[in-house]
Structure 1
């Protein structure tokens, strides 16, 4: 009889798992205020009984069932995925976790399915008080800063030890949460730094970087290799004397550094980080910094201080920080505190009752659930207020519902400086209605959000998932019919090739990110019969088009010096030998980097390269007559004319400029002369040419 369990799997369905008792035809389901009659329907799963209740049950009440004069609790199981459960137990107006004050520490956790919860603080067990809406609380009458704690929850008759999902600090390898009083953990550098001033986000240039990759290379010249502190070191150099690390990034001319996940993630042992590598897309605790990047992971506050010092160092260099957040899944669902506290609630299920896997990693976080959304919004608020970050990149954003993203946008609009929000708006096969997914097809619903433009990417280099398909820069001008749309910001409905987003302020233009092959590895292999120098020029063309197109350009770290991962197209756990940013290449390709710097300087200096509206672009942007597949256009500023020409072939072309005069060459990967006088010039093979002329 002890094996008998009764489950509420829907608002009107009871399932009885009974090993060896006689099946009754009806059940009486009791709550403190009423009773319900449940009629037998059928046997399911080879031994369980399904009963139907003719009216909807009040899920907020404790339910029991009597079977053969024995009373059994009714556990909330499948019903946790119902709207009724979400409404009955909504408690998103409260703060959760360990909340210290001068003389007390409040512990608060949410688990409507738990029959009791204890909190173990430094090994001492305390019973938590059950309140309404599934909330449990306990107040320790002292400031418990530094104390470790876990929850001990009785759920479905079984006792689970659970680490607080709202933990803001954890012990080594996340075995327990730690009470964190931020007033007792200070960083002078962080406390005295301020966010960079941002006039308009359209002025941004994003540089994607992994904390460990950035400095782990033997020739990085950095002392704290692979650590948060490695990116605080200034004036570091290669053995040849070329700048590295933070100073190099500052010199390059970008405005925002997007860091792969900084929060606590799986696979890497905090105490032996050299034994394993991870990009960070296996999230464990979302409010806690990753321990393997700290110099002392045994101190739960060391990682907090060092992360803050890294952020402060970037801010002091007027570089904004974007953090990569992974709200679409967790590392291992069954081991996640979300699943342990409320089994079945925080994750999506399809119509057949199977865990949704649109993310491809085994689970999809249910952002549309009230308490799931509340957690995400709390995380956004915490990283903004506590770590003073300047933006968020949303991994697999298409798996997050639009309402959640809209609320994130609203929260970020409260900040004194504009917050950069961007994400992967892919259409994913997650168990969420199409119209609720945050995809690029629905960009008009989220005007404050930018989308990674995969059409831009694949137009320039070929389909990412078809290694031997060619694009504009490595396929002799293939897709030239798309180039006007790309250069104009991928939002013009009047062109034959359709737009990617609703507004020019929503496109993130890129050809390379941490995912898939680096651009160099792709071109080097796909164009294997081409000359080495020609392949390098193809890559420079792709980066140049990225920078010169309307929208926000995005550069993967090392792209500017032909980063290679040895052909590895999925290096998420491939180690430092593959992933380390090779600073020797930075030394070798300084001239190529200088070309990228010159383009970034042009974009920064002349606002006609970073316009804010389609109307302004249509007024100032005009394509030019050129021999195919050369593409050229002019930009009309108030007192100056600009021209851009791109030649994706090994031929030279005679080009007629839109007007005769004295044209100043602003950037070129081929020519040294600084002026062209007259109306004609020869465009070199694989050349990107940018020039301006004053208008009298």
Structure 2
């Protein structure tokens, strides 16, 4: 039998429990014999937290059923028991393996566990609902590690480092500021993107009870063991298989009740190990991709890749994400190293989740690999086009901040000539790799590499001044005590106590994420950015422990103006659909670039973009160390300022009727024009353009003048053989310049600049321009 060609399409692999019977199904087409081993307990653990002996169970032979599946029906209630599969091959080899489809496991995933899932549901789970979400355009993502959220020893959390910390409401710091889940709600994010919360290998879940045992206490979790089971170290009792299930669901309920959805970071591109992983013992050689020499492929950088293109591997991944979405009410998935997952698999995941579970589920991932891979159909940027999932935009990331770990700079950190790349990101990558802004995840930093505050310090040459030392794998590379190094550092030395928002480091950090939060696409910030979180220069803190990674909630009080600014930007985005356009056509119609040079990017969201209540919105990013003057389009009612260098939000902070505005150094500004209000004195200019050939397609006006910025004016209609355009200018404007051109300077009607004298007219003027002439004629 060629196991590559054997496919089972049922959605019932694993242990299907009921109180009267349990049905076990295992796909193992190469096996000569499969036996179910039942246990009364989790087994005997050694000092490393592992169980190495599995011959002490009640062993019952399974029946070879169909399509490579082995089957056993056991009558009676098995809840509370443990099991493994004893697999014998034709060569006489015997292996004991946990169930790849395990829904529950013992501590450290040593054995599969049989649980009554419904019995472990928290009260009210059956009626639990996802918070409403019209579409992914409304998402504001917040990347967070479960343990980091509550591990700060000075914080008032009862369940530090646990799922249950998310259920603790009403927590405040000494000055009454909300912390914990109430902080997330106050900030306004719509989704918490949790770093891996499935059962992973490297943290010894029993260290709580046996601190003398070996093993790590902290890891990000990108080392999968059991893909369908919550991680035990985040539960209050990892030795009771049902506890982690209940407490995970309690976390989901708590976040949903606050109006926050949950994204689950999933790692289907590799496993922690192969021989001791979840698959190799069951079907040797099938689940892992190999190179041309027959060796394990290593595009993950950690020794193996899952062969996602194979039918039963693809099925496993689709079954797994659907299980999390249905059983645990997860609202979306972020795929680690998605470049190692073939595009057909990603497409099937998106289609099935959206069709069978919920169309609002958000699916995205990293469109790259960790190394070379033999996979031909890699899911890279561009491969997601119109397939229902999004990708991380590292083009935009690099343009904003520079490189990830070094002193390389970007637009917000001091590098010139980045304006074009910023504009591309602002547009939602629709002229780069995306068919829609909904296909790009915009961000500056996430868990990998230097976090935002530390990166800005690096670009300013302030790393040494901050007292940072080199950290690797949770230890100082030069030796010494890590805690002493952290306590001796001063990461906020550059921040004055009087006016926090005037610190150059703060201004650059806020500008970086301000660009993300006001661009088309789906924005993501890293947990703690709004508190100026530092990791003390550790660019890879995956095992550096709480001393480096824990969110220090005292910083909310210390840097409250920064938090308020972030909250204001998120409120602005959520209140105005102009920032959340859903198609390339919308972006091309409504987003007009006003300036893209000299370390300044400015653009206008015009004509009630995406049904916005504001007629026009102007966004300006000034990455210069000095203030700039920015020309504004004439507005008959004037421009209101919603965001400046000190405050951000959805309401007017200031008002200007000038045709220029001063934008402070290293800051952003958002202005808006409303319908209504007292009109300013202005006059209407109508231009009628006549061509003998009657062909007007692509022709437009380029106009300028005192009180009038350079701008394109399109002809609105053709009447009586003439193209007609109109625009408004301040009443004091006496003369304007114009050029009639084809498209974007493909051709000029006449070579020289032309001018129209408006005279003393106080209301309106209509003029006629004939092709080939630099003269004009007043009509009325």
Q: Distance in 2 between matches of 1:268 and 1:626?
A: 49
Q: Distance in 1 between matches of 2:220 and 2:601?
A: 37
Q: Distance in 2 between matches of 1:404 and 1:416?
A: 18
Q: Distance in 1 between matches of 2:18 and 2:408?
A: 60
Which one is further off, 355-364 or 130-139?
Answer: 130-139
CA deviations over 1:229-286 (Å, ceiling 9, x no partner): 0011112122332211100001101111110111100111112258520111111001
Q: Corresponding residue for 2:646?
A: 670
Asked if the contact 2:232/2:238 (under 8 Å) is kept, the reply is: yes
Cα distance, 1:90 vs. partner? Answer: 1.7
Given the alignment, which residue of 9, 26, 30 partners 1:109?
26
Q: Corresponding residue for 1:419?
A: 361
Q: Corresponding residue for 1:317?
A: 258
Q: TM-score, structure 1 length as denominator? A: 0.84
Cα RMSD after superposing both structures: 1.8
Matched, 1:360 2:301: yes
Asked if the contact 2:300/2:369 (under 8 Å) is kept, the reply is: no
Q: Corresponding residue for 1:121?
A: 38
Cα distance, 1:374 vs. partner? Answer: 1.2
CA deviations over 1:326-385 (Å, ceiling 9, x no partner): 100001111013011111110000111010000101100111111111111110111011
Q: Corresponding residue for 2:67?
A: 133
Matched, 1:539 2:523: no
Asked if the contact 2:401/2:413 (under 8 Å) is kept, the reply is: yes
The secondary structure found in structure 1 opposite 2:457 is helix
Asked if the contact 2:338/2:369 (under 8 Å) is kept, the reply is: no
Q: How does 1:78-477 map to 2 (within 5 A)?
A: 84-87=2-5, 89-93=6-10, 95-122=12-39, 123-155=57-89, 156-272=91-207, 276-414=217-355, 415-427=357-369, 429-434=371-376, 436-444=377-385, 446-464=386-404, 467-477=406-416
CA deviations over 1:490-548 (Å, ceiling 9, x no partner): 112xxxxxx13232110000001011110111110221269651011001000000000
The secondary structure found in structure 2 opposite 1:373 is helix
Q: Flag structure 1 segments of 5+ consecutive residues without an equivalent.
A: 1-59, 61-83, 493-498
Asked if the contact 2:435/2:583 (under 8 Å) is kept, the reply is: no
Shift in CA distance, 546/687, structure 1 to aligned 2, threshold 3 Å? same
The secondary structure found in structure 1 opposite 2:555 is helix
The secondary structure found in structure 1 opposite 2:542 is coil
Asked if the contact 1:189/1:309 (under 8 Å) is kept, the reply is: no
Q: Distance in 2 between matches of 1:174 and 1:438?
A: 31
Shift in CA distance, 221/665, structure 1 to aligned 2, threshold 3 Å? farther
CA deviations over 1:633-686 (Å, ceiling 9, x no partner): 111143521111111121111222112443222122336953233222211111
The secondary structure found in structure 2 opposite 1:634 is strand
Shift in CA distance, 129/548, structure 1 to aligned 2, threshold 3 Å? same
Q: How does 1:594-613 map to 2 (within 5 A)?
A: 594-613=564-583
Q: Corresponding residue for 2:693?
A: none
CA deviations over 1:108-141 (Å, ceiling 9, x no partner): 1121222111111122111111234332111111
Q: Which has the larger radius of gyration?
A: 2
The structure richer in helix per residue is 1
Cα distance, 1:105 vs. partner? Answer: 0.8
The secondary structure found in structure 1 opposite 2:412 is coil
Q: TM-score, structure 2 length as denominator? A: 0.75
Matched, 1:571 2:545: no
Shift in CA distance, 285/632, structure 1 to aligned 2, threshold 3 Å? same
Given the alignment, which residue of 442, 445, 455 partners 1:522?
455
The secondary structure found in structure 1 opposite 2:659 is strand
CA deviations over 1:458-504 (Å, ceiling 9, x no partner): 00011225x12110011154411222211111112xxxxxx132321
Q: Distance in 1 between matches of 2:81 and 2:127?
A: 28
The count of residues paired between Structure 1 and Structure 2 equals 604
Q: Distance in 2 between matches of 1:389 and 1:574?
A: 28
Q: How does 1:71-82 map to 2 (within 5 A)?
A: none
The secondary structure found in structure 2 opposite 1:322 is strand
Q: Distance in 2 between matches of 1:683 and 1:223?
A: 46
Matched, 1:643 2:576: no
Shift in CA distance, 105/664, structure 1 to aligned 2, threshold 3 Å? same
Q: Distance in 2 between matches of 1:671 and 1:404?
A: 45
Q: Distance in 2 between matches of 1:428 and 1:574?
A: 21
Asked if the contact 2:630/2:663 (under 8 Å) is kept, the reply is: yes
Given the alignment, which residue of 430, 436, 440 partners 1:503?
436
Asked if the contact 2:142/2:525 (under 8 Å) is kept, the reply is: yes
Cα distance, 1:94 vs. partner? Answer: 5.1
Q: Corresponding residue for 1:657?
A: 632
Q: Corresponding residue for 1:486?
A: 425
Cα distance, 1:596 vs. partner? Answer: 1.0
The secondary structure found in structure 1 opposite 2:413 is coil
Moved over 6 A (4+): none
Asked if the contact 1:627/1:653 (under 8 Å) is kept, the reply is: no
The secondary structure found in structure 2 opposite 1:335 is coil
CA deviations over 1:63-117 (Å, ceiling 9, x no partner): xxxxxxxxxxxxxxxxxxxxx5321x22233521111234211111121222111
Which one is further off, 389-398 or 158-167?
Answer: 158-167
Cα distance, 1:428 vs. partner? Answer: 5.3
Q: Distance in 2 between matches of 1:399 and 1:152?
A: 31
Q: Distance in 2 between matches of 1:357 and 1:225?
A: 36
Which one is further off, 673-682 or 337-346?
Answer: 673-682
Q: Distance in 1 between matches of 2:567 and 2:119?
A: 42
The secondary structure found in structure 2 opposite 1:441 is coil
Shift in CA distance, 476/516, structure 1 to aligned 2, threshold 3 Å? closer
The secondary structure found in structure 2 opposite 1:691 is strand
The secondary structure found in structure 2 opposite 1:537 is helix
